[in-house]
Structure 1
């Protein structure tokens, strides 16, 4: 098949990972201290930018690394093992790069690739909280003689504190159409606050962003209907890769904790904790859960790659089926990952001792981070969606929203 431009279909993973693993090691070295002091990972983000992490999916012929989607998410899993805040902070960036990969060739597309190669990254501005009805968008873009003006307020602005651009879901004031507006952060009209107060994923930069007559170039306003089709599954996969990385970190920390432990119980089974069969069983079970989650997530990323390539096939039915598979597979993986990683993060303490609950070790961060990630895209609906598809063949919902429900009817 002839494609309109080079596709990102994969590269040598060993060589690619070797480029970034030294950076991941530096990031891991400061992860606990950043967690304890709630220090934003400004320096780690800079290290990743300088290493070209933001260009993973851009084809090699256009200056990037040409990674496939399975390779992208495998690297995000490795990064999440070092610090799970960072993959989530880069979630909007990776999604917008994917959107540009799916776009037709154009000078505008090439300019975005050049910006990413130069180190620019994108943050998120989609969700509105407060008195917002389901389906309502209060953030507006308005045409003006100088281009467009953006006004509104977003929360859960993940990655916005570190970003050069923010990917904003907004509504046109002139015709009511839903759009994506890419707004530069280096202007007075963009106000970013570090007010995210969740108990997990505390340094993702997910607070409030306000837009007050912020400038948006005309070429940076895109119809939402043109957004890449497998975006919901893609966004979910960033969270899944992050969960898989937390699973790896739990496995790492419990094995190291048992290996170093000197104290034993009088009613234990060995002279050292590392030789205690019951403790070994706990560690082994955690290792199995972590392995199963990572394997499941990686398997599901193959469906995303098929959806990406099907976009260029010229066969609408093939593309639709690939998008359905990508969405269903991401839902299956979510059911597995959200349950088993949280379980592993709690089970960890059964292999250790009371001293391992001390704040300085921050081992509770694994459960808090996993629980917070698992609160996105509620898993309680995912098994039902999968079952409905398997039994009745109903397509999953590709785009969903959150907001206030209808007003209660008056009491009789």
Structure 2
């Protein structure tokens, strides 16, 4: 368990944003080096826990401030401008706190709220590789006497190396109805050091290299019934559960875009030489370069503006409208992150490709994170809504 006596309660959005900016300034230092060396940010995540930011969505009735989704998104965007790895690590933390709020019992929410207010961190154990699609879940939870047993393997478990609690997506295996639980999927909230849990540091990706997104296996893990939260009430009803999760992904991408733009501008001002045909003494005075920076800035501004609108829409709790607004924001953020992080080299010149600068970590992070869910399907859902008035589907990817 993360050893923090108690976190400060960040009671307002302004406080949370101010703390995020302070931490981002710290995390930006060494971000490129951590990426190059794959140095996991344990100290930085401890700072994040101690800051109180991980508890900002704990509801007011449970000791927290219950800050809105728009504030969480802005916190993520700010952190991602500095280090998108650190920004992604608590993604599932906030998603599963939201699940507790939507589908947990009062006792479950109260139990976890107390842990969260002392800096506890939740990570996902959700995705699998064995099914025909990512939506197929093979990991089972089955009754064994008065308790339950979990067996299975999970991959891409972002943040698991830093977690106090794992949120494990399972499928109930109880054909005889012995447990008294309704058939379906359940998320088991269990301590990361539970016997039978094995967390493997085997994440070696192109980008987002320090997110701790490795493999977790469950071998006869025994849990109490009180650890199980049904997923259905959150994902099978218009709760906005998916819109909230996707909003945070869009915020990470928008943050990468802004960080890459700032890095490109800094490099051009400090290191780039002008192209001889421009007839200028400073690269930043090249009119064609100025034009390109303007184009890139507009892409980033569009992504940030769409993120702001989407966050406000999620706050207003109209699930269908929120999902469509977030889908648009995700599309623009995806485009901006990949475009700007690639154009960084175009505008900065040959020197920017030097390996010791590690400027490619912006593109590698953008390219890796934006693979999380395809934006081509978001266009489909938006188009169907416009043409036919069809509401978006109920799942966690929109």
Q: Same fold (TM over 0.5)?
A: yes
Contact 2:253 2:337 in 1 (8 A): yes
Contact 1:293 1:341 in 2 (8 A): no
Give the superposition deviation at 1:219. 0.8
Change (3 A) 1:288 1:133: closer
Give the superposition deviation at 1:54. 0.9
The structure 2 residue matched to 1:281, chosen from 283, 287, 291, is 291
**Counterpart in 2 of 1:266?**
276
Give the superposition deviation at 1:299. 0.8
| Structure 2 unpaired stretches of 5+ | 1-9, 176-182
Q: Give secondary structure in 1 for the equivalent of 2:211.
A: coil
Give the superposition deviation at 1:283. 2.0
After superposition, give the CA deviation of every residue in 1:166-215 in whole Å (9 maximum; x if it has no partner): 11111112145221111211123111112122211111111211001113
Q: Give secondary structure in 2 for the equivalent of 1:208.
A: strand
Give the superposition deviation at 1:98. 1.6
Q: TM-score when scaled to structure 1?
A: 0.86
How many Å separate the matches in 2 of 1:198 and 1:130? 20
**Counterpart in 2 of 1:13?**
13
Which is further off, 359-368 or 96-105? Answer: 96-105
Give the superposition deviation at 1:269. 3.3
Alpha carbon RMSD of aligned pairs, Å? 2.0
Contact 2:17 2:71 in 1 (8 A): no
Q: TM-score when scaled to structure 2?
A: 0.89
Equivalences for residues 115-194 of structure 1 within 5 A: 115-130=115-130, 132=132, 136-145=136-145, 147-175=147-175, 176-194=183-201
Contact 2:127 2:134 in 1 (8 A): no
Contact 2:169 2:188 in 1 (8 A): yes
Equivalent pairs counted in the alignment come to 378
Contact 1:283 1:348 in 2 (8 A): no
Contact 2:157 2:215 in 1 (8 A): yes
Give the superposition deviation at 1:324. 0.8
Equivalences for residues 10-409 of structure 1 within 5 A: 12-59=12-59, 62-103=62-103, 106-130=106-130, 132=132, 136-145=136-145, 147-175=147-175, 176-227=183-234, 229-261=239-271, 263-307=273-317, 322-399=318-395
Q: Give secondary structure in 1 for the equivalent of 2:218.
A: strand
Q: Give secondary structure in 2 for the equivalent of 1:227.
A: helix
| Structure 1 unpaired stretches of 5+ | 1-9, 308-321, 402-412
Change (3 A) 1:262 1:364: closer
Give the superposition deviation at 1:134. 6.9
Contact 2:104 2:230 in 1 (8 A): no
After superposition, give the CA deviation of every residue in 1:82-141 in whole Å (9 maximum; x if it has no partner): 110122211110011122333577233211111101111111111110355675421011
Contact 2:201 2:212 in 1 (8 A): yes
